[in-house]
Amino acid sequence: MWPAVALSLELATVTTFLLLLLGVPLAWVLARANGFLGEAVAALVALPIVLPPTVIGFYLLLLLGPHGPIAPLLGLRTLAFSFTGLVIGSVIYSLPFMVQPVRNAFRGLGPAPWEAALTLRASPLDAFFSVALPLAQGGILTGIILSFAHTLGEFGVVLMLGGDIPGRTEVLSIVIFNDVDNLQWGEAGALAAGMAGFSFLAVLVMFLAEKRMARLRA
Amino acid sequence: MIEAMFAGTLGQFSLDVALELPGTGVTGLFGPSGCGKTTLLRCLAGLTRLPGGFLRVGDDVWQDGQRFVPPHKRQIGYVFQDSRLFAHLSVLQNLRFGLLRSSEKHMLRSGEKHMLRSGAKHIAEADVIGMLGLEPFLARYPAKLSGGERQRVAIGRALLAQPRLMLLDEPLAAIDRAAAHEILPKLRDIAVMFGVPVIHVAHDMAELERIADFLVLMRQDGRIAATGPLGAMLTDLSLPLALRQEAAVVLGLTAGDYDEAYGLTLCNGPGLSVTVPARLGVGEKIRLRIRASDVSLARERPAGSSILNILPARIVEVQIGEGAHINLVLGVGEGERLLCAITRKSWDVLGLRLGDEVFAQVKAVALAAR
């Protein structure tokens, strides 16, 4: 049970970190794009929200597996059934949970603070880091919490892409599934309760933080 | 000297202007709402790009056929109507935002040595904080400020970015009258104390009468109706300004002796003296506003009048229409002008003619600026 907890936490942490690096700039670009192309990319990013995880897992397996195009490029036999594969899958699976709130936060700012920064000698890059990013911190915090919690509870994609290798790809939700399969209701119950409790706390923290920030800005 | 040419359509606004503006003092940009005043200001700042435009400020070309200097490389100070303070920064941090980025060190590091204001005096933080009275709330965050306070911080923040040109987009339109009244003279101080030319967009002519030196009058269709020094524009009978209900002129005078017993100060201008009901320091420069409707005419110097200010005048311009009133321009002192609105009947009864010597009785004067 504990190796799975550690693995899930590690996966969620690495994924969330990568999503910050990747998702925030992407959200910025999508927040400012108002053409058809922008919306099309945004829709593609949002796809994991509505697509069954097994479908995503299936395509990722084709993409990252031994016959896919990615692994040979990296000189590997396969990316499937590895931690790296899980990270790639999780990043794609949780991408909308980072991009949506951050994009909305950037959109909510509008051009006003951005223009003000430019008239005060800030270069676009400077204005992004010193004005846009801090002002969108509420959305970024929401993105971090949602991505982390969402990755922690991942099941379908992991099962498709990672299989069920204890210590390597066997994450929390898979342990719960196996426990129930083996009629080990005690451990399943403890893990499920832990997940439910953690998720509740995460979302509660998110709501409280949002409320606090709204009050500060009012 | 600022030279600007912009023509084009942006959304629902069209703009077609060619301007030469003085490189000192306060220039007022006045026109009906939706005429493109803000668009013009944004073009000057580089926030809006109109292809084919031209802009030269002093010796620097900021836009022409090939070149477009982006806003962050223009030495401007821009004050928005909605202040746009950074909510995550304290007042002091807001004030220092542009200051840090216009410092010599920053410019050298980012390879923008040419942007240093050669020969220009550094605008010091303490001076700006003092002028705008920002000391009490330096540690506060924008959310805890009133509208007027926010606008004062925004003005200070723009000024500390060491601009060569201040662009003010109706900075007083969204705040209460009392606060606006207090801030208005500070806008003039930007030009007078810190030597930075100001372009001030306003939809309230009374604001411009108090602080402007030069006026640009825009039309509804985004074209320029007229430009010129404030005095000449206010007394130009071919412009709508002189025909308004509240048409007025402003006179620049110097305060003389104060009459303690009656609370009156005698103020002097070129070839004329006006008694002002206020206590003013000797030598103080003031701006007096005299409304056309407060000026009446007499053939002979009236005896036994309660009116204190009776000035010898000459009718230098007249516009007679079909209406009950006619508008006159009077020459007083040495080259100063007053507006006067009288009834057409009075004009006929007194048998007045263009060029006649008359007496202008000024019923009321208002201290517009000091």
Assess whether pLDDT exceeds 90 at residue A158: no
Q: And the tokens for A127?
A: 């204005």
* Whole-number pLDDT of residue A157: 85
The B366-369 sheet, strands edge to edge: B272-276, B264-269, B248-259, B285-291, B366-369
Q: Which residue in B has a C-alpha nearest to residue A113's C-alpha?
A: B84
Question: Cβ contacts (< 8 Å) between A119 and chain B: which residues?
Answer: 45, 47, 71-72, 76-78, 98, 158, 161
Question: Cβ contacts (< 8 Å) between A112 and chain B: which residues?
Answer: 80, 82, 84
Shortest distance between the Cα of B77 and any Cα of chain A, in A, equals: 7
**Inter-chain touch A112–B141, beta carbons under 8 Å:** no
Q: What class has domain B2-234? A: alpha beta
* Whole-number pLDDT of residue B115: 55
Q: Is A218 on the interface with B (CB under 8 A)?
A: yes
The B26-30 sheet, strands edge to edge: B76-79, B165-169, B198-202, B26-30, B214-218, B224-229
Q: Give the mutation candidate from A34, A115, A121 for the B interface (greatest B CB count, under 10 A).
A: A121
**Inter-chain touch A126–B101, beta carbons under 8 Å:** yes
Q: Is A177 buried (19+), middle (13-18) or exposed (0-12) by CB count in 10 A?
A: middle
CB-nearest to B71 from A113, A119, A130 is: A119
C-alpha distances in Å from residue B299, one per residue of A49, B303, B334, B361? 88, 12, 20, 11
Shortest distance between the Cα of A133 and any Cα of chain B, in A, equals: 10
ipTM, interface predicted TM-score of the complex: 0.86
Determine which of A29-43, A118-132, B94-108 has the lowest per-residue pLDDT on average: B94-108
Q: Is B72 on the interface with A (CB under 8 A)?
A: yes
* Whole-number pLDDT of residue A40: 93
Shortest distance between the Cα of B87 and any Cα of chain A, in A, equals: 7
Domain residue ranges in chain A: 2-217
Fold that domain A2-217 belongs to in CATH: MetI-like fold (1.10.3720)
- Pairing of β B26-30 and β B54-57: unpaired
* Whole-number pLDDT of residue B117: 53
**Inter-chain touch A119–B102, beta carbons under 8 Å:** no
- A6 pLDDT band, cuts 50/70/90, is confident
Q: And the tokens for A56?
A: 């995503």
Q: Is B30 buried (19+), middle (13-18) or exposed (0-12) by CB count in 10 A?
A: buried
d(CA B247, CA B233): 11
Q: Would you tell me how many other CB atoms lie within 10 Å of the CB of residue B347?
A: 18
* Whole-number pLDDT of residue B103: 79
* Whole-number pLDDT of residue A171: 85
Q: Which residue in B has a C-alpha nearest to residue A218's C-alpha?
A: B143
d(CA A24, CA A18): 10
**CA atoms B48, B51, B53, B56: torsion sign:** positive
* Whole-number pLDDT of residue B108: 65
**Inter-chain touch A120–B97, beta carbons under 8 Å:** yes
- Pairing of β B264-269 and β B336-343: unpaired
Enter the DSSP assignment of B33.
Answer: T
Maximal C-alpha separation, chain B:
76
Q: Which residue in B has a C-alpha nearest to residue A123's C-alpha?
A: B72
d(CA B287, CA B230): 12
- Pairing of β B165-169 and β B198-202: parallel
* Whole-number pLDDT of residue B34: 82
3-state secondary structure string across A39-81: HHHHHHHHHHHHCCHHHHHHHHHHHHCCCCCHHHHCCCCCCCC
Shortest distance between the Cα of B159 and any Cα of chain A, in A, equals: 10
Assess whether pLDDT exceeds 90 at residue A81: no
Q: Is A34 on the interface with B (CB under 8 A)?
A: no
Q: Is B111 on the interface with A (CB under 8 A)?
A: no
C-alpha distances in Å from residue B249, one per residue of B31, B96, B366? 18, 40, 11
Q: B301 vs A81, which has greater pLDDT?
A: B301
Shortest distance between the Cα of A86 and any Cα of chain B, in A, equals: 37
Q: Mean pLDDT for chain A?
A: 89
Q: Is B94 on the interface with A (CB under 8 A)?
A: no
Residue window 4-63, chain B: list those with CB within 8 Å of chain A. 45, 47
Enter the DSSP assignment of B121.
Answer: P
8 Å CB contact between B363 and B304: no
Q: Would you tell me how many other CB atoms lie within 10 Å of the CB of residue A88?
A: 20
Question: Cβ contacts (< 8 Å) between B88 and chain A: which residues?
Answer: 134-135, 137
The one-letter amino acid at B270? P
8 Å CB contact between B48 and B41: no
* Whole-number pLDDT of residue A133: 94
* Whole-number pLDDT of residue B105: 67
Q: And the tokens for A94?
A: 């949780």
8 Å CB contact between B339 and B292: yes
- The tens place of each residue's pLDDT in chain B, 370 residues long, gives 899 999 988 877 788 999 999 999 999 999 988 888 999 999 999 999 999 999 999 999 999 988 999 999 999 999 999 999 999 999 999 999 999 998 766 666 665 555 555 556 789 999 999 999 999 999 999 999 999 999 999 999 999 999 999 999 999 998 998 999 899 999 999 998 899 999 999 988 989 999 999 999 999 888 999 999 999 999 999 998 888 888 999 999 999 999 999 999 999 999 999 999 999 999 999 999 999 999 999 999 988 889 999 999 999 999 888 888 899 999 999 989 999 999 999 999 999 999 999 999 999 888 888 7
Domain residue ranges in chain B: 2-234, 248-369
- Pairing of β B224-229 and β B54-57: unpaired
Residue window 103-142, chain A: list those with CB within 8 Å of chain B. 112-113, 115-124, 126-127, 130-131, 134-135, 137
**Inter-chain touch B72–A216, beta carbons under 8 Å:** no
Decide: helix, strand or coil at residue B354: coil
**Inter-chain touch A120–B84, beta carbons under 8 Å:** no
DSSP secondary structure of B167-193? EEESTTTTS-HHHHHHHHHHHHHHHHH
Q: Which residue in A has a C-alpha nearest to residue B80's C-alpha?
A: A116
Residue window 59-88, chain A: list those with CB within 8 Å of chain B. none
- Any idea which residue has 């002093």 for tokens? B58
Q: Is B161 on the interface with A (CB under 8 A)?
A: yes
Is CATH 2.40.50.100 what the domain over B248-369 is classified as, yes or no? Answer: yes
d(CA A171, CA A152): 8
d(CA B56, CA B40): 14
Q: And the tokens for B94?
A: 């807001």
pTM for the model stands at 0.86
Decide: helix, strand or coil at residue B351: coil
Mark residue B352 as left, alpha or beta (left: phi above 0; alpha: psi -120 to 50; beta: remaining).
Answer: beta
d(CA B296, CA B363): 8
